[in-house]
Amino acid sequence: MPLKQAHRTAAPEPLSRLPEHSAESPLSVHDVTVAYHRKPVLWDIDFDAPAGKLTAIVGPNGAGKSTLIKAAMGLIPLAAGRIEIFGKPIRAQRRLVGYVPQRGSVDWDFPVSALDVVCMGRYRAIGWCRPVTKRHRDAAMACLERVGMAGFAHRQISRLSGGQQQRVFLARALAQEAMLYFMDEPFAGVDAATERAIVEVLRTLRDEGRTVICVHHDLHTIEDYFDHVLLLNMRIVAQGPVAATFTRENLQKTYGGRLTLLDEASEALARTAAPGAS
Amino acid sequence: MSLFLQVDLPAALTGTLAALCCALLGNFLLLRRQSLLGDAISHTVLPGIVVGFLVFGTRSAGPMLLGAIAAALVAATLIELVKRYGKLEPGAAMGVVFSVMFALGVLLIERAAARTVDLDAECVLYGQLEDVLWLGPTAPGDLLKPSMWSGFPREAATLLVITVVVAAGIALFFKELRITAFDPELASSVGIPAGAVHFATTALVAVAAVASFEAVGSILVVAMLVCPAATARMFTDRLTTQVWLSGVFAVVAGIGGYVLGALAPVWLGMDGSLSAAGMITVLSGALLALAILLAPGHGVVAKRLRSLSLSAGIAREDLLAMLFRLEENRSGVTLTRGEIRGALGGGLPSRIALRHASRRGDLSIGAAGATLTDAGRAEARRLVRTHRLWETYLVRELGLRPDHVHSTAEALEHVTTEAMAQELGERAGAAADPHGKPIPD
């Protein structure tokens, strides 16, 4: 069956009406396949993020964790399937979504201060062609304060430590005032103080009723930090509350043994032109 | 006066405007680490100009400009495609595309020349700034007559319009340019399409480059896309300031280069004048070199001075601690300058440290040599205390061997804050360090 046929039908029904999706979910991923150069890296993902919870996406390198959250934000095209944010396509919902990219994804020598970076979280609220006003700078400053970085507001970002840079990214996400957050390894390579600060912020966000989805590497802290877990290795191995889902058996399925047949099929698809794909 | 108005003013103005519009856009190429794009575009416009000529059969500016802009955009698109599908790194992709397109231009010119038409590749590369004339005004009063402005040189007028468009575009879309250059993924996720902003920037670079070529040639364009922005970056860590400064440097290079080109030969007693475009380029390069050397924050000299003052500060603290340790064995220690410099390892830092210590009143220096003052002794006691606290901490809490910790403590004592020292003191709870030396209060 051609990969692209699924979403060709006119005016699709909202995912929330489908029996397998919940109407309250801030993020509904329906039968999504994502491919790079025709090689699928995610297969048939079905996923509802529980509202007002902290969800971890866990899996080995190359499992498609970052790909999944980028696809959810509409940053990379879907080969098949649909994604809805609060019941609508991402295009209509960008103001509800916040993002913390991987720290290594930007050039830290860029001539901006920590405050400038946090202000970027307000750009959507400010609108095209309008300057950043004092009101927005004050809001950004308050976000820096929440992550304990107010004292570094005017420092050029390359002069911050790795943990401080990560906290600036977190403050920028806070400045977005989103209802659904995607974070790509916010705990990677940070110091203990930063880790505590991030956890505290995540819990506050949850207590305010916001939903956070983190790509997370450190299996030891999953049970402490998160409510919900999605075990991913090109397809979903298991998902659900941490207590029931984060089991030795499921971890074994996620990390142990490659999915040889699926791998082989991916490679084959990469080599040939998939029928129907342009 | 009429020579100035008819020759110098239009030429200097054209050169400066070309420098300015390229410099402003150059900031954003520099941020994206794509400064080479200017080089690529400057070579790819050649086939565009020739095709424009061959298609429309005229040497007038409009069609050739159109062809050049189209070629630049084709090149930018090709570079993206080669990068994506050819699996080449950006520099290689640009190199391939612009050299092939330039060669194509040369071949096309040969064909055109075979049809006995005069097209000159050189004027694309070197420009003809000296040919920009304003045949009209002979006195300042003439500038007020509207009739004079119909003869205003087309090159200058075009560049003026483009510079205004570029400046307005940057002012209006500053936020969007900044976020798409810094974090394109975040930009796209909040609905600011990084790809479209990038494409628009490239298109503007193409327009600015093409409009500048005719007057100043591609070499100046390439230099102006890089030098003023890079010079400005040496002086500031703020993007807004960098953009303003790059404009200032471009104007300085433009006017200064033109004046130098005209006057330098006179000063040197030679005939004629130097190429203004060449001089502007050389001056902008010289400004960058000076900035790399002398800029207060990021300059090489400033960095050296900072590291020298840092090592002198450490040497001063080592000197105080050394005297304190000697005094622990016998009171009233006096060391000669030579002994001190030797103990500190000699060199400039030890001289500065000695002078610094005596000026701050840490030492009283008499004929016999240097002795700690009371103030100096207090600071020395604090340093030695910190050192021994660190040794205690490293041995007790980290389990290091007592004979391994001296050099580590030596490095740490210079960066220990008061709060850290307090915590160390509370944790240590001992009167002596691992070597049995007393920890002073």
Is the same domain home to B319 and B176? no
Q: Please state, rounded to an integer, the average pLDDT across all residues of chain A.
A: 88
Q: Is B59 on the interface with A (CB under 8 A)?
A: no
Domain that holds residue B65: 2-219
Neighbours of B186 (CB within 10 A): 28
- In chain A, which among 235-254 make CB contacts under 8 A with chain B? none
Query: What single-letter amino acid sits at B22?
Result: C
In a domain, B401, yes or no: yes
Q: Is B298 on the interface with A (CB under 8 A)?
A: no
Evaluate if residue B187 carries a pLDDT over 90: yes
In a domain, B230, yes or no: no
Q: Which of B219, B254, B278 is the last residue of a domain?
A: B219
Residue contact A110–B233, C-beta within 8 A: no
Chain A interface, best mutation among B87, B182, B231, by max A CB count within 10 A: B182
Is the same domain home to B311 and B212? no
Evaluate if residue A260 carries a pLDDT over 50: yes
Is the same domain home to B215 and B308? no
Q: Which of B165, B197, B219 is the last residue of a domain?
A: B219
Q: Is A270 on the interface with B (CB under 8 A)?
A: no
Residue contact B189–A132, C-beta within 8 A: no
Does the reported pTM lie above 0.80?
yes
pLDDT at B317: 92
- Per CB-CB distance under 8 Å, the chain B contacts of A97 are 189
In a domain, B35, yes or no: yes
pLDDT at B138: 79
Mean pLDDT of A157-179: 95
The number of folded domains in chain B is: 2
Nearest residue, CB atoms, B176 vs list A75, A94, A128: A128
Is the same domain home to B214 and B310? no
Q: Is A268 on the interface with B (CB under 8 A)?
A: no
Query: What single-letter amino acid sits at B161?
Result: V
Mean pLDDT of B94-116: 81
In a domain, B191, yes or no: yes
pLDDT tier at B112 (50, 70, 90 boundaries)?
confident
Residue contact B189–A99, C-beta within 8 A: yes
Span of A45-49, A242-246, B153-157 with lowest mean pLDDT: B153-157
For residues B185 and A182, the answer to whether their CB atoms sit within 8 Å is no
Nearest residue, CB atoms, A75 vs list B172, B188, B237: B188
Report the side by side order of strands in the sheet with A97-100. Answer: A97-100, A180-184, A211-215, A54-58, A228-233, A235-241
Is the same domain home to B311 and B176? no
| Tokens (6 digits) for B318 | 């080592």
- In chain B, which among 211-240 make CB contacts under 8 A with chain A? 233, 236-239
Is the same domain home to B198 and B93? yes
Mean pLDDT of A213-236: 94
Q: Is A105 on the interface with B (CB under 8 A)?
A: yes
Evaluate if residue A276 carries a pLDDT over 50: no
Highest-pLDDT range among B283-292, B346-355, B367-376, B391-400: B283-292
Chain A interface, best mutation among B30, B33, B185, by max A CB count within 10 A: B185
For residues A2 and A275, the answer to whether their CB atoms sit within 8 Å is yes
Q: Is B303 on the interface with A (CB under 8 A)?
A: no
Q: What are phi and psi of A171, to 5 degrees?
A: -60, -40
Burial class (CB in 10 A: 0-12, 13-18, 19+), B89: exposed
Highest-pLDDT range among A90-94, A172-176, B100-104, B268-272: A172-176
Evaluate if residue B306 carries a pLDDT over 60: yes
In a domain, B441, yes or no: no
Highest-pLDDT range among A235-244, A249-258, B35-44, B258-267: A235-244
pLDDT tier at A2 (50, 70, 90 boundaries)?
very low
Span of A4-13, A190-199, A235-244, B168-177 with lowest mean pLDDT: A4-13
- Per CB-CB distance under 8 Å, the chain B contacts of A116 are 178, 238-239
Evaluate if residue A103 carries a pLDDT over 60: yes
Mean pLDDT of B33-53: 81
pLDDT tier at A80 (50, 70, 90 boundaries)?
very high
| Tokens (6 digits) for A12 | 């699709």
In a domain, B120, yes or no: yes
pLDDT at B118: 56
Mean pLDDT of A173-200: 94
Q: Is B185 on the interface with A (CB under 8 A)?
A: yes
pLDDT at A10: 53
Evaluate if residue B40 carries a pLDDT over 60: yes
pLDDT at A62: 85
SS3 A183: strand
Evaluate if residue B373 carries a pLDDT over 50: yes
Q: Which of B219, B235, B250 is the last residue of a domain?
A: B219
Mean pLDDT of A63-83: 94
pLDDT at A37: 78
Q: What are phi and psi of B238, to 5 degrees?
A: -115, 130
Percent of chain B topping pLDDT 70: 96
Element (H, E) at B246: helix B239-267
Nearest residue, CB atoms, B190 vs list A113, A124, A132: A124
Nearest residue, CB atoms, B238 vs list A111, A128, A176: A111
Q: Is B191 on the interface with A (CB under 8 A)?
A: yes
pLDDT at B427: 84
pLDDT at B121: 62
pLDDT at B123: 67
Mean pLDDT of B189-197: 92
Neighbours of B314 (CB within 10 A): 18
* Pairwise CA distance, residues A229 & A216, whole Å: 10
In a domain, B275, yes or no: no
SS3 A86: coil
Is the same domain home to B309 and B184? no
| Tokens (6 digits) for B142 | 């003439």
pLDDT at A277: 42
Report the side by side order of strands in the sheet with A39-49. Answer: A39-49, A27-36, A80-85
Q: In 3D, which of B10, B30, B33 has the Cα closest to residue B22?
A: B30
pLDDT tens, B218-245?
888 989 999 999 999 999 999 999 999 9
- Per CB-CB distance under 8 Å, the chain A contacts of B238 are 111-113, 116
pLDDT tier at A278 (50, 70, 90 boundaries)?
very low
Evaluate if residue A175 carries a pLDDT over 60: yes
pLDDT at A257: 62
Evaluate if residue B38 carries a pLDDT over 90: no
Which residues are CB-neighbours of A197 under 8 A, at least 6 positions away? A147, A148, A167, A170
| Minimal C-alpha gap between B78 and chain A (Å) | 18
Mean pLDDT of B68-76: 83
Nearest CA in chain A to B179: A120
pLDDT at B172: 95
Is the same domain home to B61 and B177? yes
Q: Angle at Cα B265 formed by Cα B263 and Cα B266, nearest 5°?
A: 65
Highest-pLDDT range among A79-93, B49-63, B139-153: A79-93
pLDDT tier at A110 (50, 70, 90 boundaries)?
very high
pLDDT tier at A201 (50, 70, 90 boundaries)?
very high
* Pairwise CA distance, residues B356 & B321, whole Å: 15
CATH of the domain at B311: 1.10.10.10
pLDDT tens, B401-436?
888 888 889 889 888 888 888 888 888 777 788 888
B334 or B167, which is more confident: B167
- Per CB-CB distance under 8 Å, the chain A contacts of B33 are 107
pLDDT tier at B106 (50, 70, 90 boundaries)?
confident
- Per CB-CB distance under 8 Å, the chain B contacts of A94 are 189-191
Q: In 3D, which of B195, B175, B85, B28 has the Cα closest to residue A76?
A: B195
Q: What domains, with CATH codes, occur in chain A?
A: 5-271 (3.40.50.300)
Q: Please state, rounded to an integer, the average pLDDT across all residues of chain B.
A: 87
Is the same domain home to B34 and B130? yes
pLDDT at A1: 43
Residue contact A94–B190, C-beta within 8 A: yes
CATH of the domain at B79: 1.10.3470.10
In a domain, B175, yes or no: yes
Q: Is B176 on the interface with A (CB under 8 A)?
A: yes
pLDDT at B132: 82
Residue the block writes with tokens 């051609």: A2
